[in-house]
Chains A and B, each alone.
Chain A
Amino acid sequence: MLAMIKRNLLLYFRDHSGVFFSLLGALISFVLYLVFLKQNMLTSWHQMPDAKPLLDTWLIGGTLAITSITTTLTSLALMVTDKEKHIADDLTLTDAGPLRLFTSYLISAAVIGTLTQLAMFGIMWGGFYLTDGLTLSGTAVLNTLGLMVTSSLLAVVVNAAIVQGIHTVDSLGKLGTIIGTAAGFLVGKYIPIGALPSFAQSMVKFIPGSYVAALYRQFLMDDKLKSAFAGHLATRHTFERLMGIRLNWSTLLTQQETYLIMGLIFSGTVALVFGLKWLQIQRRRQYLRER
């Protein structure tokens, strides 16, 4: 399995232009936001203290959530490519076994997802440090780093559930475009969830990435929120609900609850994805036993 993970990572990182465009893909929505939407948002927040660092960290959170979704999806394309080019046939002849091969695709995609988020975080924070003097506390950074791993794992299994039904690289590319376009809206990155109609709000709450985005924002914005809303807890909660910093079920979700929901989604999807794979393998075994 290690050999296979090494192969997948080598294939990804040796393709320099692939890595570049993958980063650029994640960065483009960020840049577009800065160019087209940031000023608009700042104007509407004019009466708020610390508006700039709040908006900056809010944006970083949303972008990282999107990055985890899109980069893991692109990395899983290798699984489809291998199937299409009959490399998978060659791999099944080895002693690695289909379940371990499958797991190695998932692990390498999660590693790539984490590293790309790390790079994105560095770029965005560096950028805002230079323009707005943005600083972050050690706790905020540590929590963010931990969430990069968690969010990649979650995105990988959710994407794997989708990718299992896809057999050509061409259709995967088209799906990637659809997901990449929709994701920004679905996790409430471009437009705050509070500004959406109620149907769209419910939809956002169905997307696993929304919980990731919410957690990122909680970790990154906490200090800023504390100082901006000192002594105005109710106003702070309204702001958190409007901006998708905490998602609202019947009450605003706490950090623990958000993590729990993510954990449940993760375990459910893992069971689904590996269950399907296991069934596939069993069917194959049956035939092998016959001979």
Chain B
Amino acid sequence: MLLEAHHLTKTFGEHIAVNAVDLQIEKGSFTALLGPNGAGKSTTMNMLIGLLQPTAGQVTYDHTPKLGVVFQGSVLDDILTVRENLQIRAGQYRHVPADRVTVLSQQLGLTAFMAQRYGTLSGGQRRRVDIARALINEPDILFLDEPTTGLDIQTRLAIWTLIQRLQREKQLTVILTTHYLDEADSADNVIVIDHGRILAQGTAADIKTRYAADRLTLTSPDVAQLAARVARQPIRRTANQLVFSLPTMQAALDILTANRPLISNFEFRPGTMDDAFLALTGKEMR
């Protein structure tokens, strides 16, 4: 394991932000910390990076790692140009080749606005510069704290593709926090956190099978008769439709074949990350 956290706990006064979190991060893996606002994602990440001292518990790296971090807010200077910002950060590392900033700007597609002030960039351009900054020292692990929050869907997709490409091409270990559920879908390892505790852990598929029910919607000319013939209680019933929540696809198939003459139309929707997330974290707002 490249990184292990054991019983990681952080309290702020009475408030427990992170509660006995255990984590294992494998080299080259892609981990998403998923949770609603205030779940303890950022606090966990700051402890992994070493910026925040845990109240209890330990973080162990298997060797001194080179870290790259994309922070939630901007940490570059608005009135300096992109090149100045990156060059100044590069100057603060030992053993960074002189052409590193140029190489990065080409890899991440920054060349068009290298001479522009950071403060005048669009949200997506800024994010790419932030990622370039995090990659200056060729890190072993890249941490990203909500890298796509507040970006439009096209930019989110572009940033996401970029991160995945980096992970693949550079064998980077990536750990990121997000509250966009669709993003967690493509991670190797999803960790759902709420109230500082890990609620579920595994691949996105695992979590969906375990926590998200499939949904079968049946349209029928005779709803009453159909309802009587199915042993399960529908979760919703209208004049011509019945909706069932089912644990497996097999159960849906059974209902469909047994009641074929009574069904005029149907819709089957496998459980989504949203369903799993809501099932795990509840519906109230933070």
Binding site for B on A (CB under 8 A): 2-4, 6-7, 10-11, 14-15, 85-87, 89-96, 284, 287-288, 290-291
Q: Which of A2, A14, A93, A284 contacts B91 (CB 8 A)?
A: A2
Query: Is B71 a contact partner of A86 (Cβ separation < 8 A)?
Result: yes
Query: Is B58 a contact partner of A14 (Cβ separation < 8 A)?
Result: no
Q: Which of B73, B75, B88 contacts A3 (CB 8 A)?
A: B88
Residues in A whose Cβ lies below 8 Å from that of B137: 94-95
Question: Does B79 count as interface, using CB distance less than 8 angstroms?
Answer: yes
Query: Is B51 a contact partner of A91 (Cβ separation < 8 A)?
Result: no
Residues in A whose Cβ lies below 8 Å from that of B61: 291
Nearest opposing residue in chain A for B93, CB measure: A95
Cα A7 to Cα B87 in complex, Å, equals 10
Query: Is B51 a contact partner of A11 (Cβ separation < 8 A)?
Result: no
Query: Is A7 a contact partner of B69 (Cβ separation < 8 A)?
Result: no
Question: Does B89 count as interface, using CB distance less than 8 angstroms?
Answer: yes
Query: Is B80 a contact partner of A11 (Cβ separation < 8 A)?
Result: yes
**Chain B 51-65 residues near chain A, CB threshold 8 A:** 51, 53, 58-61
Query: Is A95 a contact partner of B94 (Cβ separation < 8 A)?
Result: yes
Cα A85 to Cα B73 in complex, Å, equals 8
Query: Is B91 a contact partner of A3 (Cβ separation < 8 A)?
Result: yes
Question: Does B185 count as interface, using CB distance less than 8 angstroms?
Answer: no
Beyond the given A4-B88, A11-B77, A86-B71, please list 11 additional residue pairs across the A-B interface where CB-CB is below 8 A: A3-B89, A3-B91, A3-B92, A4-B91, A7-B84, A85-B75, A90-B71, A90-B133, A93-B69, A95-B93, A287-B53
Return the CB mask of B35-76 against A: 1 if under 8 Å, else 0.
Answer: 000000000000001110100001111000001010101010
Query: Is B79 a contact partner of A94 (Cβ separation < 8 A)?
Result: no
Q: List 24 A-B contacts (CB under 8 A).
A: A3-B89, A3-B91, A4-B91, A7-B77, A7-B84, A7-B88, A10-B84, A14-B79, A15-B79, A85-B73, A85-B75, A87-B75, A87-B77, A89-B71, A90-B71, A90-B89, A91-B92, A93-B49, A93-B67, A93-B69, A94-B92, A95-B137, A291-B50, A291-B59
Query: Is A94 a contact partner of B89 (Cβ separation < 8 A)?
Result: yes
Cα A263 to Cα B7 in complex, Å, equals 52
Residues in B whose Cβ lies below 8 Å from that of A291: 50, 58-61
Interface-central residue, A10, A89, A90, A93, by most chain B CB under 10 Å: A93
Residues in B whose Cβ lies below 8 Å from that of A10: 80, 84
Query: Is B79 a contact partner of A11 (Cβ separation < 8 A)?
Result: yes
Given A91-B92, A95-B92, the answer on whether A290 and B73 have CB atoms closer than 8 Å is no
Q: Which of B67, B88, B93 contacts A6 (CB 8 A)?
A: B88
Residues in B whose Cβ lies below 8 Å from that of A90: 69, 71, 75, 89, 133
Residues in A whose Cβ lies below 8 Å from that of B89: 3, 90, 94
Residues in B whose Cβ lies below 8 Å from that of A89: 51, 71, 75
Given A89-B51, A93-B69, the answer on whether A14 and B75 have CB atoms closer than 8 Å is no
Cα A284 to Cα B71 in complex, Å, equals 21
Nearest opposing residue in chain A for B61, CB measure: A291
Residues in B whose Cβ lies below 8 Å from that of A2: 91
Residues in B whose Cβ lies below 8 Å from that of A6: 88, 91
CB distance from B227 to the nearest CB of A (A): 57
Residues in B whose Cβ lies below 8 Å from that of A288: 50
Residues in B whose Cβ lies below 8 Å from that of A95: 92-94, 137
Residues in B whose Cβ lies below 8 Å from that of A4: 88, 91-92
Interface-central residue, B69, B92, B94, by most chain A CB under 10 Å: B92
Return the CB mask of B243-275 against A: 1 if under 8 Å, else 0.
Answer: 000000000000000000000000000000000
